Amino acid sequence: MKILLAEDDSNIAAIAKMVLEKIGGHQVTHVANGQLAVEQSQAEKFDLILLDEMMPKLNGLGAFNKIKELDNNHPPVIFLSAKSQNDEIDKLKLAGIGFIGKPFDPNQLCQMIDQLLQKRGS
């Protein structure tokens, strides 16, 4: 699967990219802000987009809304966030197909993504 990972924390991005590539066998393109996520989503075709909610230039929800505006057939989006308020989490879940809280367990990242994709397909 070809994944776009938008994450501004370089340590989290490096861990997620390594896990997704080495354990999940996915091809991962990393960008460090929401504006680059929008641009990259238009430049390449992805099977999944992972968006951090709190990023510079454009937050995850803003990037998602722009991607959706530019492409009706955009790939599924899963939000990554350290936000812990239930109303904020619910808003992200409603916008995308799921939410993965940070910090996440690297060993379970691929499994969590697979579960969210399966849930969406059923």
The CATH number assigned to the domain holding 109 equals 3.40.50.2300
Q: Are 101 and 93 in contact (CB under 8 A)?
A: no
pLDDT of residue 50: 95
What is the per-residue pLDDT across 31-52, written as a single tens digit (0 to 9) for each? Answer: 999 999 999 999 999 999 999 9
Residues of the chain with pLDDT under 70: 83-84, 92-93, 121-122
Report which residue type is found at 121: G
Domain that holds residue 96: 2-121
pTM (2 d.p.): 0.89
The number of folded domains in the chain is: 1
Cα 111 from Cα 14, distance rounded (Å): 18
Read off φ and ψ for residue 98, nearest 5 degrees.
180, 180
